[in-house]
Amino acid sequence: MALEGWSVKKVDRREVRDFIERWHYSGSINGCIADFCYALLDSEGKMKGAMFYGRMATANQWKRFSDKPDNVIELRRLCCVDETPRNAESFFIGRSLRLLKKDWGSGVVVSYADKEYGHGGTIYKASNFEMVGEIKGARVIMFGGKRYHDKTIRTKYKGKLKPFAKRIKEALDTGEAFYKTTKGKFTYARNI
C-alpha cells in the first residue's frame, strides 16, 4: 500500500467530528477549538485520517512560544485508520502544514505526545518538529471509560452548570467517576 494518489484537503469540523471520535485515542473533541480542519483521503477519495488545528487549550500557554497569541496554533487532534500505509501520518502532517500556512499564515505550531498512551512523538520528529519540553502529569476525571479535564465539572452556560458537568460531579460523589493523575506529555514545536 503506497500513498500515491492520496491527498489532504481542508474540511469543516462537522466532516471530521465522527471520524475523530471513532479513531482518536481520546474518543472526543468536546471543548476543543478547531480553527482549521483537514482530511486525509486515499486515492479513491475515502477519508483515512482527520486532524485539526486550533488556538491553544490553556490560557496564556502561547507565551512559552511567542510574544503574540495569534502567532501560535496547536495541532489539537490527529488520527488515521489502522490500515494506513507506512508514513501516512507524517505525509498528512506535512501536507496539512502547507495548507495551514496558506489558511492561517506563519507562526509556531505546537503539539503534544501523550505519555499516558505510550506516545513519544515519533511522527512529530519525522515531520521536523523539535521537542521543546515536557509537561508533568495532570489530574483528570475518569468517567465512563473516558478521561475529562478537571475543569469539566465547572463548565457553565448562561451562568448555570451544564447538565453534563452536573452528571460528572454526581458521579464523583457516588464513586462512579474518580480522579487520576496522568503520566504527562512531551511538547513539540515547529515554525512554518
Q: What angle do CA 21, 123, 19 make, to 5 degrees?
A: 15
Helices (H), 137-177: 163-174
pLDDT in tens, the chain (192 residues): 589 999 999 999 999 999 999 999 888 887 788 999 999 999 999 999 999 999 997 788 999 999 999 999 999 999 999 989 999 999 999 999 999 999 999 999 999 999 988 899 999 999 999 999 999 998 999 999 888 888 888 888 888 888 989 999 999 999 999 999 999 999 999 999
Enter the CATH code of domain 7-136+183-191. 3.40.630.30
Q: What is the pLDDT of residue 148?
A: 86
Q: What is the pLDDT of residue 31?
A: 77
Q: What is the pLDDT of residue 117?
A: 85
Write out the three cell numbers for 44: 479513491
Cα-to-chain-centroid distance, residue 74: 8
Q: What is the pLDDT of residue 1?
A: 54
Location of C-alpha cell 500515491:
4
- Rounded-to-integer distance, Cα 43 and Cα 169, Å: 46
Q: What is the pLDDT of residue 58?
A: 79
3-16 CB burial, b ≥16 within 10 A, e <16: beebebeebebeeb
DSSP-derived letter for residue 167 is H
Write out the three cell numbers for 62: 502561547
Q: What is the pLDDT of residue 133?
A: 95
